[in-house]
Amino acid sequence: MLLIAISAKAQSIDWKTEKSEDGKITVTSKISERIDEESNQVQLVEYVATTIANVSFQNCVAIMKDISNHKAILNEEISEKLKTLSENEWLIYYYFDAPWPIPNSDCVSKMIFTEDIINRMATFSLTAVPTLYEKKDVKRVRYYNVKYTFKDLGDGKVKLTSIAKLTPAINAPEWLIRGFFPEGPARYLHRILVLAKSA
């Protein structure tokens, strides 16, 4: 029985690869656990979503640089720039109006933009900095590491990738989180494409 339990646990934290409903976006995900800064065992949600599309590389970059667009991409209530830290670094705020039964939450993060001209790649890296903005009356996401990369493949094609490693504001049943995949991350990339193509 112990071996069966161990095997079941191991299987539950394996990476799972799925295609979006339209078959255009590949999403690999894993739900496991980590120990937080207060020595609590909390959920760890990880995923990688990727697709190749006919879209302007410059438009993809411009869409992500405009933080007000993030609200539409992530289906948030609020996405705003709190402060410009440097030419390519910003302090940003998200407010998530979550569907029942998940409570609303927010996230403060630092977004850094880097561009590799030789490899024709742009990256936006977001890392939670929960103490750099006043606490609101909702739970705050304290572990949030998300990266968006855009690689110009030439001939009008761009490879879009989002990589996430985060802990939700509250522990939710695994079946509820699992229901987010693959369409959740796929929708994010799809919305970037829609905005970039209409820019």
Helix ranges (H only) for the chain are 2-12, 57-65, 70-74, 174-178, 183-198
Q: What are 95-109's pLDDT values in tens digits?
A: 998 777 778 999 999
Contact by Cβ (8 Å): 109, 92:
yes
Does the CA dihedral 61-78-143-25 come out positive or negative? negative
- What percent of the chain stands above pLDDT 70? 93
Strands, E, within the chain: which ranges? 16-19, 26-35, 41-54, 78-86, 89-96, 105-116, 121-128, 139-140, 143-154, 157-167
- Report domain extents, the chain: 22-198
Residue 64, pLDDT above cutoff 60: yes
Q: Output phi, psi for 176, to 5 deg.
A: -70, -45
Across 151-180, average pLDDT: 94
In our burial notation (b when 16+ CB lie closer than 10 A, e otherwise), range 51-82 reads bebebbbebbbebbeebebbeebbebeebeee
Between residues 6 and 105, the one the model is more confident about: 105
Residue 162, pLDDT above cutoff 50: yes
Residue 150, pLDDT above cutoff 70: yes
pLDDT at 1: 42
Q: Using CA atoms, how far apart are residues 139 and 168, in angstroms rounded to an integer?
A: 10
Across 58-79, average pLDDT: 96
Ramachandran region of residue 110, left (φ > 0), alpha (ψ -120 to 50) or beta? beta
In our burial notation (b when 16+ CB lie closer than 10 A, e otherwise), range 159-175 reads ebbbbbbbbbbeebeee
pLDDT grade for 168, boundaries at 50, 70 and 90:
very high
- Average pLDDT of the chain is 92
For 169, 188, 195, the CA distances from 83, given in Å and listed in that order, are 23, 24, 24
CATH topology for the 22-198 domain: Alpha-D-Glucose-1,6-Bisphosphate; Chain A, domain 4 (3.30.530)
pLDDT at 101: 72
